[in-house]
Amino acid sequence: MDIEISSERAGDDIAVIQVSGELDLYTAPRLKEELLSALEDGILKVVIDMSGVHFIDSSALGVLIGGVKRLKPDGGSLVLVSVDENVNWIFRITGLNNVFDIFATRDEAIASFS
Protein backbone atom coordinates (compact mmCIF):
# COMPACT_ATOMS: atom_id res chain seq x y z
CA MET A 1 0.00 0.00 0.00
CA ASP A 2 2.76 2.41 -0.90
CA ILE A 3 1.72 5.78 -2.21
CA GLU A 4 3.60 8.94 -2.97
CA ILE A 5 1.77 12.26 -3.16
CA SER A 6 3.32 15.64 -3.80
CA SER A 7 2.07 19.05 -4.87
CA GLU A 8 3.50 21.87 -6.88
CA ARG A 9 2.27 24.98 -8.63
CA ALA A 10 2.14 25.44 -12.38
CA GLY A 11 2.03 29.19 -12.54
CA ASP A 12 0.12 31.22 -10.00
CA ASP A 13 -3.28 29.60 -10.24
CA ILE A 14 -2.83 25.89 -11.03
CA ALA A 15 -2.01 23.18 -8.50
CA VAL A 16 -0.57 19.91 -9.75
CA ILE A 17 -0.93 16.97 -7.39
CA GLN A 18 1.32 14.06 -8.39
CA VAL A 19 0.17 10.63 -7.22
CA SER A 20 2.08 7.35 -7.60
CA GLY A 21 1.04 3.97 -6.26
CA GLU A 22 -2.37 2.56 -5.41
CA LEU A 23 -5.32 4.83 -4.69
CA ASP A 24 -7.60 2.88 -2.39
CA LEU A 25 -9.49 3.04 0.89
CA TYR A 26 -6.25 3.39 2.83
CA THR A 27 -4.50 5.95 0.65
CA ALA A 28 -7.41 8.08 -0.65
CA PRO A 29 -7.50 10.19 2.56
CA ARG A 30 -3.97 11.42 1.80
CA LEU A 31 -5.08 12.55 -1.65
CA LYS A 32 -8.08 14.28 -0.08
CA GLU A 33 -5.80 16.16 2.36
CA GLU A 34 -3.58 17.36 -0.51
CA LEU A 35 -6.59 18.43 -2.56
CA LEU A 36 -8.23 20.28 0.34
CA SER A 37 -4.94 22.03 1.08
CA ALA A 38 -4.83 23.37 -2.49
CA LEU A 39 -8.44 24.53 -2.26
CA GLU A 40 -7.79 26.26 1.07
CA ASP A 41 -5.00 28.17 -0.68
CA GLY A 42 -7.61 29.52 -3.12
CA ILE A 43 -6.62 27.37 -6.08
CA LEU A 44 -9.44 26.84 -8.58
CA LYS A 45 -7.55 24.86 -11.23
CA VAL A 46 -6.29 21.44 -10.19
CA VAL A 47 -4.44 18.76 -12.12
CA ILE A 48 -4.32 15.35 -10.48
CA ASP A 49 -1.40 13.62 -12.21
CA MET A 50 -2.09 9.91 -11.80
CA SER A 51 0.38 8.77 -14.44
CA GLY A 52 2.00 6.63 -11.73
CA VAL A 53 -1.27 5.11 -10.48
CA HIS A 54 -2.04 1.53 -11.49
CA PHE A 55 -5.04 0.85 -9.24
CA ILE A 56 -7.95 3.00 -8.11
CA ASP A 57 -11.02 2.05 -6.08
CA SER A 58 -14.36 3.65 -5.31
CA SER A 59 -13.11 5.55 -2.26
CA ALA A 60 -10.51 7.33 -4.39
CA LEU A 61 -13.12 8.02 -7.08
CA GLY A 62 -15.22 9.59 -4.33
CA VAL A 63 -12.35 11.91 -3.39
CA LEU A 64 -12.00 13.02 -7.02
CA ILE A 65 -15.75 13.60 -7.39
CA GLY A 66 -15.73 15.54 -4.10
CA GLY A 67 -13.00 17.77 -5.51
CA VAL A 68 -15.10 18.55 -8.58
CA LYS A 69 -18.12 19.33 -6.41
CA ARG A 70 -16.10 21.75 -4.28
CA LEU A 71 -14.51 23.52 -7.27
CA LYS A 72 -17.49 23.92 -9.62
CA PRO A 73 -19.54 26.44 -7.58
CA ASP A 74 -16.58 28.85 -7.65
CA GLY A 75 -15.92 28.34 -11.37
CA GLY A 76 -13.00 25.98 -10.79
CA SER A 77 -12.17 22.67 -12.41
CA LEU A 78 -10.23 19.50 -11.84
CA VAL A 79 -8.59 17.51 -14.63
CA LEU A 80 -6.73 14.22 -14.57
CA VAL A 81 -3.62 12.73 -16.11
CA SER A 82 -3.92 8.98 -16.45
CA VAL A 83 -2.11 6.58 -18.75
CA ASP A 84 -2.79 3.20 -17.14
CA GLU A 85 -5.26 1.11 -19.17
CA ASN A 86 -6.86 -0.43 -16.08
CA VAL A 87 -7.37 2.94 -14.38
CA ASN A 88 -8.81 4.46 -17.55
CA TRP A 89 -11.09 1.44 -17.91
CA ILE A 90 -12.51 2.14 -14.41
CA PHE A 91 -13.33 5.69 -15.50
CA ARG A 92 -15.04 4.39 -18.64
CA ILE A 93 -17.16 1.67 -17.00
CA THR A 94 -18.33 4.04 -14.25
CA GLY A 95 -19.12 6.79 -16.75
CA LEU A 96 -16.73 9.12 -14.96
CA ASN A 97 -14.84 9.71 -18.19
CA ASN A 98 -17.80 12.01 -18.94
CA VAL A 99 -17.23 13.90 -15.67
CA PHE A 100 -13.46 14.31 -15.86
CA ASP A 101 -11.26 15.53 -18.65
CA ILE A 102 -8.50 12.92 -18.76
CA PHE A 103 -5.21 13.68 -20.47
CA ALA A 104 -2.19 11.58 -21.42
CA THR A 105 0.37 14.14 -20.22
CA ARG A 106 0.71 16.78 -17.55
CA ASP A 107 1.48 19.42 -20.18
CA GLU A 108 -1.79 18.68 -22.00
CA ALA A 109 -3.72 18.88 -18.74
CA ILE A 110 -2.18 22.22 -17.79
CA ALA A 111 -2.75 23.59 -21.30
CA SER A 112 -6.46 22.69 -21.03
CA PHE A 113 -6.94 25.59 -18.63
CA SER A 114 -5.85 28.15 -21.26
pLDDT digits (tens, 9 = 90+) for 3-28: 999 999 998 899 999 999 999 999 99
Which amino acid appears at position 29 of this protein?
P
Mean pLDDT for 82-111 is 97
The Cα 26–Cα 32 span in angstroms is 11
Distant-in-sequence, close-in-space partners of 105: CB < 8 Å, separation ≥ 6: 51, 81
Read off the pLDDT of residues 39-80 as tens digits, 9 standing for 90 and up: 999 999 999 999 999 999 999 999 999 999 999 999 999 999
Domain spans in the chain, listed from the N-terminal domain onward: 3-111
3-111: CATH superfamily? STAS domain (3.30.750.24)
